[in-house]
Structure 1
């Protein structure tokens, strides 16, 4: 009965927060009342009923001044659905089977021209100066990204896939393939590749409290050849070195083989060392071999790896390297919508030269070891196109499909050898009638040593993206996210929190930790048509709830925390700059090391969609 009462309490809290959110952004009401489809929802046979509903609603609303203003702001009638994938494939299918006789590449200026009007020119002095300063993508660089060549038969699915690959480049805003029938020979076709760059030079900065700060300069398309470079200057008032540097260089798509290499050097108050990475991913289902290698040598660092959840006060001296490879087998070759099986294996080695003194019960965590892993993955992936999801008006490629994997490993460890195994399942698809996008995943895994189970975990997650809904001249979406993590016989040093991965946005408490966590986040995003100095704007409201505590009790009996707030995001898709974000949040009943309110101005990386691409075999992360 107590568990039922705590569960009811959780549902009541969620309901109250969502109700407050609807008061802040009344357009949420339109989400539940309107069925106007967009690129995530098709028109159906009830179109006439919806038209009658909107006609009646408009007539009643315009009887009074106040309701007319509210109606004009919140409501707009259904707009026709545009299936961008179908249009692209239909356009390419008109020339299907014809022989490609010529390929041309035309990069557009960053500012001025568009795909609908390539002759338009920048007018302001700033835009003209930026175009002059920017190096357009080198023609050879774009040609190396093409999956087809002169003499091939035109394949609509291949062109659609190739668009996505080029569009995923950090310095490319969008790409179009224009087909031209040969005027003499009807069996020949010319392919014109039109690209639109982003301005590749960017600046970034951050301030961490009153003691440290960082300033970064980067270029994601040096001289138009697709290479990336960054310089990050880091300073601290009390810790040496007081000023330091982190620099990275990356070469993309070496010799057109989709092989990326990057190297970095860093010497700051947090870490000193260098890194190297080679990666050839399964970028398309037709790629048979994927492989990679990485090496990290840190003479001084507070984390085992840069994104590791555990931070140490005593700096460590360590090396880490890994190498992996995989072979893909397509179930139906040349069919991009069918599944594939991937067999992969990897070796991971970690060696400490200086480390925290291992505690007997936790010696495995800071141990010298060599980890052998092998996996089998079944995956299917396809992409649909949409706009105004994580970006601001440009084409976005949303993955659909599944990824299911089984991984086995053997850990050769100085404190005792162990076996490892996990099962991970994930699936993401459009809902019925394209009412939204839903992603589900779950996994269970852990280590086995002397017939005992340790460092185990159970995880599950849900992500929902609603269809795009009109609100007057504006458009909005609702995002929902739920995540559950349970640690089983984890080490004492391994603690979950609510700060990483933004389980509660802006939450910074170090007291709210545990071995079990449940979080739920709701976000309402209103995309504004107005611009601020060429920057697109989006207002958002959010409600986050987190429950965290012991893994020995029912989750709903543990401690509850929440965050409620509003914010504004600004982003210019012509630039490689990160998204600027202003956020005001309230934290009811906060822990002792946090305040009730929080305001922040920060930069935010654009969110990525979950990918069903095969990856190297790795253990599940407890974070």
Structure 2
């Protein structure tokens, strides 16, 4: 099967030229030294990166076709992102002397996606492509930036308001980076002027694929910042399918932070072969550490075909139809501890939450589904702080790493048409980050329904994530990731089974025949970030190893089964300024595959999403422990 991806054409050319250039660089002869002259000793400590780039630069200066190609795709004069201050915790110490001063003025400057630098404001677009790209891009409106700020003119500046606002801007999908400065030249004992600088990403993007052998393909389009207003629009269309319908479509529209309320609206529309959804939600999260109120309300109509239990030797999957309507609403309140220090904002919060979920089933595949009203209440304690780091998911831009502690207890009652049940659950998680050690996150969660003194539909989840400190040699950087996860079902319904597909277990693995009720997964990944920039994409190499155990039954141990494994290597290309910022091309090998599945031992595939993610320590909403 051969897919024609427009974006991947360039990437394949990149790989071809990279290998060719590596061979040319390797073939460069070292000039013989004139022993009759006194010469300075050769600097054997010259960085490998410098030697490679020097060879590439010399090659690009030649009047040959290859030299012109190298000059057009390799950027030699790249200025790396800002490094100073990134090992410090993202706290208010740099601004705490300005706490409770009156904000006199707020000046906002937004930069287009191409040719500008947030660290060097004198830089401007130089090439035709940069200017053309900015012409197609709608720059973020200053009113959108202003709506995300936690401070206002003619009001006292609250503790944490500056650093929290900068973090919120930086975590916005259509903003690459943000800086907030206090103008020290005009600062007085009781008032301040504030300057804000942001840089956009190129928010318009899309992708497509086509397979000549089957006549199938996919077209996707998206806009993260429609009209510079922060509206998000995404859609996709697949055609040429052979089961059971030849096409599928998906649409999404979202408006964030309506009228400076931090309330967002989103609508989803799925029309796929095995899943259909129409939904609409209004929601407000605990977006900052000092947010007092959060909540959401929404309605969804869902149709899906779910996998039913199969026998070990089955070669055909069995599905059942499920159709239901759900109304969902919750409200949360954050309470902070008193502080008698006006310049200090305590980070600990006690959070109370209440949620109602009403589900009406119209079609069910088994008798294990009943119409019900689920009422949940939660109490939690959260401590959140953020650190600045680099080269995690980005290629040098500032990234905010969450750390802290979270403890919660959830209780509830399900009023059903057939039976009534109680629910009990709890969660404990914490994370620590230091520049010398790296980052370590651990979480334990449990939840189960109780009916007539019998625990059912329970799940125990244990997970841990570690990434090492950044090892640097010149402009070459290396970081290791290690993740472990365990999910144990307790008296689950027969149709509720775990998978090890893709992000749930082995990356690139796809088989619905490998399922169970208990799962243990370990993942390792090494990322080598190179200084090369090819066609605007930064390049990193990826080496990974995944292993997963599956078992069925409430008492069986997953370790009694032979594990599924995946080993692979590949490339990651990232352009911070584009909508599809990351593209991964990976080659993997699976020593064990299901005998009745359709997966090959070797697989060459692409992915645009990161395999790991940072859990935030914010209270989201009372809920039932997930079994997936």
The TM-score, its normalising length taken from structure 2, stands at: 0.80
TM alignment of 1:541-620, pairs within 5 A: 541-550=543-552, 551-592=554-595, 593=597, 594-604=599-609, 607-620=612-625
CA separation of 1:244/1:493 partners in 2, compared to 1, >3 Å: closer, same or farther? closer
Moved more, 597-606 or 461-470: 597-606
**Separation in structure 2 between the aligned mates of residue 505 and residue 464 of structure 1, nearest angstrom:** 18
Moved more, 239-248 or 401-410: 239-248
Aligned to 1:141, the other structure's residue is in SS state helix
**Separation in structure 2 between the aligned mates of residue 273 and residue 100 of structure 1, nearest angstrom:** 46
Aligned to 1:169, the other structure's residue is in SS state coil
Alignment-derived partner of residue 326 in structure 1:
332
Is contact 1:233–1:243 with CA below 8 Å preserved after alignment? yes
CA separation of 1:64/1:176 partners in 2, compared to 1, >3 Å: closer, same or farther? closer
Aligned to 2:620, the other structure's residue is in SS state coil
Give a deviation string over 1:165-186, Cα, whole Å, max 9, x none.
Answer: 1111110111111222455966
Alignment-derived partner of residue 260 in structure 1:
264
Aligned to 1:129, the other structure's residue is in SS state helix
**Separation in structure 2 between the aligned mates of residue 118 and residue 65 of structure 1, nearest angstrom:** 37
Aligned to 2:498, the other structure's residue is in SS state coil
Alignment-derived partner of residue 226 in structure 1:
230
**Separation in structure 1 between the aligned mates of residue 269 and residue 214 of structure 2, nearest angstrom:** 26
Q: Does 1:174 align with 2:183?
A: no
CA separation of 1:180/1:419 partners in 2, compared to 1, >3 Å: closer, same or farther? same
Correspondent of 1:352 among 361, 364, 379: 361
Give a deviation string over 1:515-547, Cα, whole Å, max 9, x none.
Answer: 211111111001111012111111110111111
Aligned to 1:559, the other structure's residue is in SS state coil
Alignment-derived partner of residue 237 in structure 1:
241
CA separation of 1:567/1:337 partners in 2, compared to 1, >3 Å: closer, same or farther? farther
Moved more, 209-218 or 336-345: 209-218
Moved more, 371-380 or 156-165: 156-165
Is contact 2:477–2:530 with CA below 8 Å preserved after alignment? yes
Alignment-derived partner of residue 26 in structure 1:
none
**Separation in structure 2 between the aligned mates of residue 512 and residue 267 of structure 1, nearest angstrom:** 26
Aligned to 1:162, the other structure's residue is in SS state helix
Alignment-derived partner of residue 153 in structure 2:
150
The alpha carbon displacement at 1:284 in A equals: 1.4
Give a deviation string over 1:551-583, Cα, whole Å, max 9, x none.
Answer: 423332222111111111111111121421100
Q: Does 1:519 align with 2:521?
A: yes
The alpha carbon displacement at 1:114 in A equals: 0.9
Alignment-derived partner of residue 456 in structure 2:
454
Is contact 1:182–1:188 with CA below 8 Å preserved after alignment? no
Correspondent of 1:342 among 320, 342, 351: 351
**Separation in structure 2 between the aligned mates of residue 345 and residue 521 of structure 1, nearest angstrom:** 36
Is contact 1:332–1:338 with CA below 8 Å preserved after alignment? no
Aligned to 1:302, the other structure's residue is in SS state strand
Is contact 1:235–1:269 with CA below 8 Å preserved after alignment? no
The alpha carbon displacement at 1:210 in A equals: 5.2
Any stretches of 5+ residues in structure 1 without a counterpart?
1-61, 74-79, 305-310
Aligned to 2:145, the other structure's residue is in SS state helix
Alignment-derived partner of residue 59 in structure 1:
none
Is contact 1:182–1:190 with CA below 8 Å preserved after alignment? no
**Separation in structure 2 between the aligned mates of residue 466 and residue 414 of structure 1, nearest angstrom:** 51
Give a deviation string over 1:395-446, Cα, whole Å, max 9, x none.
Answer: 1111111111111121122231111111111111125x74111000011221
Aligned to 2:131, the other structure's residue is in SS state helix
Aligned to 1:507, the other structure's residue is in SS state coil
Is contact 1:583–1:599 with CA below 8 Å preserved after alignment? yes
Alignment-derived partner of residue 492 in structure 2:
490
Moved more, 346-355 or 331-340: 331-340
Give a deviation string over 1:351-375, Cα, whole Å, max 9, x none.
Answer: 122232x2xxxx33x3222111111
Alignment-derived partner of residue 420 in structure 1:
423
**Separation in structure 1 between the aligned mates of residue 197 and residue 583 of structure 2, nearest angstrom:** 29
The alpha carbon displacement at 1:296 in A equals: 0.8
**Separation in structure 2 between the aligned mates of residue 101 and residue 67 of structure 1, nearest angstrom:** 52
**Separation in structure 1 between the aligned mates of residue 589 and residue 104 of structure 2, nearest angstrom:** 61
Moved more, 197-206 or 141-150: 197-206
**Separation in structure 1 between the aligned mates of residue 194 and residue 105 of structure 2, nearest angstrom:** 6
**Separation in structure 1 between the aligned mates of residue 457 and residue 187 of structure 2, nearest angstrom:** 69
Alignment-derived partner of residue 530 in structure 1:
532
Aligned to 2:515, the other structure's residue is in SS state coil
**Separation in structure 1 between the aligned mates of residue 162 and residue 49 of structure 2, nearest angstrom:** 45
* RMSD after superposition: 3.0
Aligned to 2:604, the other structure's residue is in SS state strand
Aligned to 1:166, the other structure's residue is in SS state helix
**Separation in structure 1 between the aligned mates of residue 293 and residue 49 of structure 2, nearest angstrom:** 57
**Separation in structure 2 between the aligned mates of residue 162 and residue 583 of structure 1, nearest angstrom:** 37
CA separation of 1:561/1:180 partners in 2, compared to 1, >3 Å: closer, same or farther? same
**Separation in structure 2 between the aligned mates of residue 312 and residue 135 of structure 1, nearest angstrom:** 48
Is contact 1:227–1:250 with CA below 8 Å preserved after alignment? yes
The alpha carbon displacement at 1:236 in A equals: 4.3
Number of matched pairs: 543
The alpha carbon displacement at 1:331 in A equals: 2.0
Give a deviation string over 1:342-392, Cα, whole Å, max 9, x none.
Answer: 111111122122232x2xxxx33x322211111111111011111111111
**Separation in structure 2 between the aligned mates of residue 517 and residue 271 of structure 1, nearest angstrom:** 25
The alpha carbon displacement at 1:589 in A equals: 3.2
The alpha carbon displacement at 1:613 in A equals: 0.5
Alignment-derived partner of residue 30 in structure 1:
none
Is contact 2:113–2:202 with CA below 8 Å preserved after alignment? yes
Give a deviation string over 1:171-214, Cα, whole Å, max 9, x none.
Answer: 01111112224559664321111110111111134679958643
Alignment-derived partner of residue 291 in structure 1:
295
Alignment-derived partner of residue 11 in structure 2:
none
Alignment-derived partner of residue 301 in structure 1:
304
